[in-house]
Structure 1
Amino acid sequence: MSLVTLAIPFFLLAVLVELAFDRWKGWGLYRLNDAIGSLGAGVLSRLSGLVRAGLLLVIYIPLHEMLQPWYQLLGINWSLDNPWHLFLAVVAYDFCYYWKHRFGHEINIFWADHLVHHQSEDYNLTTALRQPCGGLPIGWIFYMPLLLVGLPAEMLVTAGAIDLIYQFWVHTQKFPKVRWMEWVLVTPSNHRVHHAQNKVYVDRNYGGVFIIWDRLFGTYQEELEHEPCIYGVRKPLNSFDPLAANLQHYKRMALDAWHTRSWWDKLTLWFRRTGYRPADAEAAMPLPSSDLGNFRRFDPQIDRGRRLYALVQHLVYSAATLALLWHAESMAYTELLAAVLMVAAGLVVNGRILDGHPHSRYWELLRLGALLLAAPLAGGTVGPIVAGYVLASLGSWWWLAFANKEDTVPSVSD
């Protein structure tokens, strides 16, 4: 089991602690719908990792083995047991991550994947867990230079996990600016800048662990006291559906390619700078940016019962995902794929419930009906547990969505 998977319970505990302080102090950092939207995207990301193969190690390991004579000639011998070696591995990995992250903001096809992490219009520890499903498998290219220093695959994976785990804690608004840290490390202050859509902050501070890369390559921006961060993206998602989150920019590019008459644009817009749109496609489908002078977060109002239902369902999906992560190696691929699809469908419908989509009442019935039919296939003790969960959910959902007159809650002011 990976270090990131082992860290998940600690991530969730930290979220609960920050949430408790948020409610106690009245900070207003958390909204239930946005938090579930971010956590749902993170859960879908972990699920997708169970059923798709990453290309990085598939390509990296054979190349590393092929270069072994060269490494032996140069006396290169990395060891996980040497803390200095591990530190240097993290530095080298973070350097490559900087460029991957920077291209993730500056090129359309890379932004389509990385965009998911930036869609949240809140900024708290759940934002750190908002991760994409992987998109097109092209990110591995940026880590190939690590072959030049002979970094073994196991150290690459460990350094990558450390880099990702470190980034969790910087997604908070309540850790103050610490002057000496801002010069060397990625901190909550300079990472708040990275998530802001203010003009002065856009496309800045790409480092994962070390901010020195941004200072070296001219992409550093300090958090300014007179310029509060406005979080989110210029073209808002306006949905808490994690599948829609992952498809947002791909769909937009595909529509632009369809509408433009230029074959050159059809072929190249995917690899042009982020935000590029052919003039005729933009005229056919104008997409205005957020009005930052009068910015309001996406916050559809649904009744308290449905919000509680969505929260309980999300907890069920999270528990199911942790169980799948734990038992994945002992499951047949077809069984694993079926389970992943069932949980993923739940995440999508849950997002639409939080959106207040009028058809979500029927989609949830359809999901529960399909799951009830599939329950006997689970076998053992899992089948009855799934059937019991479905029946309890069906009763609750029928009362909330069909039998009960919904009372809307007052609008939450931003």
Structure 2
Amino acid sequence: MSLVTLAIPFFLIAILVELALDRWRGWGLYRLNDAIGSLSVGILSRITGLLRKGVLLLVYIPLYELLEPYYRAVGFNWSLDNGWHLLLAVLAYDFCYYWKHRMAHEINLFWADHLVHHQSEDYNLTTALRQPSGGPPIGWIFYMPLLLIGLPAELLITAGAIDLIYQFWVHTQKFPKVRWMEWIFVTPSNHRVHHAQNKIYVDKNYGGVLIVWDRLFGSYQEELEKEPCIYGVRKPLNSFDPLAANLQHYKRMALDAWHTKSWRDKLTLWFRRTGYRPADAEAAMPVPSCDLDNFRRYDPEVRRPLRLYALAQHLCYSAATLALLWYAGELGYIEQAVGVALLAAGLVVNGRILEGHRFARYGELARLAVLTAAAPLLPAVLFAPLAAYTAASGLVWWRLAFAGKGATVGPVSD
């Protein structure tokens, strides 16, 4: 089991602590819909990872084995048990991560994947878990230089996990500036800048563990007291559906490629600078950016019982995700795929419930029906709990969405 998977329970405990402090102190950092939206995106990322094979290792390991005679000749002898070797591996990995992260902000196709992490209009520890579910398998290219120093795959994987785990804690608004840290490390302050859509902050502070790279390569920006961070992206998602989150920019680029008359643009817009749109496509389908002077977070008003139902369902999905990740090694690929599909469907419908979307009314009933039909494909030990869950959920949902005068899942009207 990976270090990141083992760290998930600790991430969730930290989120609960920050949430409790938020409610106690009245900071207003958490909204139920946005937090569930971010966590759902994170769950989708982790479970779909069970079905994907990392291209990085498929390429890296054979090349490493091919170069092993050279490594022995020059004396490269890395060891995971040596603390200094691990430290150097993290530094080397973080340098490569800086350039990968920077390109993710500067090239349309890379941004389509990385955009998912930036869509939340809140900034709290749930934002850290908001990770994309795939995208084009291109990012591995940036780690190929590690072959030049003979870094073994096990150290590469461990360094990558440490780099990612470190980045969790910097997604908070309540850790103050510590001047000496701001010069060396990625901190909550300089990472808040990275997530802001203010003009002065856009495309700054790409480091994972070290902010030194940004200072060296001209992409550093300090957080300014006179310029409070406005979080999110300039062309907002306006949805809590994790599938929509992952498809947002791909859909926009595909539509641009379809509508533009220029074959050059059809073929190259994917690799042009982030935000590039053919003039004729932009004229046909204008997508306005946020008015930062009058910025309002996407926050559809949905009846409290529906919000509580969505919260209860999300807790069930979280428990099921932890179980799936924990026992994945004991399941066949088909069983894993069925579990992933059922969880993904639930996350999508739950996001639509939090939006008050009309799809959710019958979508939730359909999800429960499919779950019941798929029960025989899952391990037998799950049959009784699933039967109880689907029966209880179906009765509650029927009462909320269909029974009673004017029952609806739509937004509350003023």
Question: TM-score w.r.t. structure 1 length?
Answer: 0.98
Q: CA deviation at 1:375?
A: 1.7
Q: CA deviation at 1:346?
A: 0.3
Number of residues paired by the alignment?
411
Seen in structure 2, the aligned counterparts of structure 1 residues 375 and 276 have a Cα distance that, compared at 3 Å, is same
Q: CA deviation at 1:329?
A: 1.2
Query: What is the CA deviation profile of residues 115-163 of structure 1, one whole-angstrom value per residue up to 9, with x for unaligned ones?
Result: 0000000000000000000211111011000000000000000000000
8 Å Cα contact 2:335-2:377 kept in structure 1: no
* Partner in structure 2 of residue 75 of structure 1: 75
The amino acid that maps onto 2:157 is: V
* Partner in structure 2 of residue 126 of structure 1: 126
Superposed counterparts of 1:31-50, under 5 Å: 31-50=31-50
Distance in structure 2 (CA, Å) of the matches to 1:316 and 1:379 = 17
Q: CA deviation at 1:381?
A: 2.0
8 Å Cα contact 1:109-1:271 kept in structure 2: yes
* Partner in structure 2 of residue 101 of structure 1: 101
* Partner in structure 1 of residue 264 of structure 2: 264
Q: Secondary structure at the match of 1:50?
A: coil
Q: Secondary structure at the match of 1:381?
A: helix
Query: What is the CA deviation profile of residues 283-308 of structure 1, one whole-angstrom value per residue up to 9, with x for unaligned ones?
Result: 00001100000000000011111101
Query: What is the CA deviation profile of residues 74-115 of structure 1, one whole-angstrom value per residue up to 9, with x for unaligned ones?
Result: 100101111111000000000000000000000000000000
Q: CA deviation at 1:256?
A: 0.2
Distance in structure 2 (CA, Å) of the matches to 1:378 and 1:250 = 33
Superposed counterparts of 1:229-268, under 5 Å: 229-268=229-268
Q: CA deviation at 1:410?
A: 8.9
Q: CA deviation at 1:387?
A: 1.2
Q: CA deviation at 1:6?
A: 0.2
* Partner in structure 2 of residue 367 of structure 1: 367
Q: Which runs of 4+ in 1 moved over 3 A?
A: 404-411
Superposed counterparts of 1:131-210, under 5 Å: 131-210=131-210
Query: What is the CA deviation profile of residues 239-269 of structure 1, one whole-angstrom value per residue up to 9, with x for unaligned ones?
Result: 0000000000000000000000000000000
Distance in structure 2 (CA, Å) of the matches to 1:141 and 1:323 = 33
Q: Does 1:282 align with 2:282?
A: yes
Instruction: Compare 224-233 and 376-385 and name the one that shifted more.
Output: 376-385
Q: CA deviation at 1:379?
A: 4.4
Q: Secondary structure at the match of 1:403?
A: coil
* Partner in structure 1 of residue 393 of structure 2: 393
Q: Does 1:89 align with 2:89?
A: yes
Q: Structure 2: give runs of 5+ residues left out of the alignment.
A: none
Distance in structure 2 (CA, Å) of the matches to 1:379 and 1:89 = 41
Distance in structure 2 (CA, Å) of the matches to 1:326 and 1:41 = 19
Distance in structure 1 (CA, Å) of the matches to 2:48 and 2:336 = 11
Query: What is the CA deviation profile of residues 261-285 of structure 1, one whole-angstrom value per residue up to 9, with x for unaligned ones?
Result: 0000000000000000000000000
Distance in structure 2 (CA, Å) of the matches to 1:14 and 1:323 = 20
Superposed counterparts of 1:221-370, under 5 Å: 221-370=221-370
8 Å Cα contact 1:377-1:383 kept in structure 2: no
Query: What is the CA deviation profile of residues 347-374 of structure 1, one whole-angstrom value per residue up to 9, with x for unaligned ones?
Result: 0110111111012110000000111112
Q: CA deviation at 1:409?
A: 6.2
RMSD of Structure 2 on Structure 1 (CA):
1.1
The amino acid that maps onto 1:351 is: G
Distance in structure 2 (CA, Å) of the matches to 1:380 and 1:368 = 18
Distance in structure 2 (CA, Å) of the matches to 1:61 and 1:55 = 10
Q: Structure 1: give runs of 5+ residues left out of the alignment.
A: none
Query: What is the CA deviation profile of residues 152-210 of structure 1, one whole-angstrom value per residue up to 9, with x for unaligned ones?
Result: 00000000000000000000000001100000000000000000000000000000000
* Partner in structure 1 of residue 17 of structure 2: 17
Seen in structure 2, the aligned counterparts of structure 1 residues 17 and 410 have a Cα distance that, compared at 3 Å, is farther
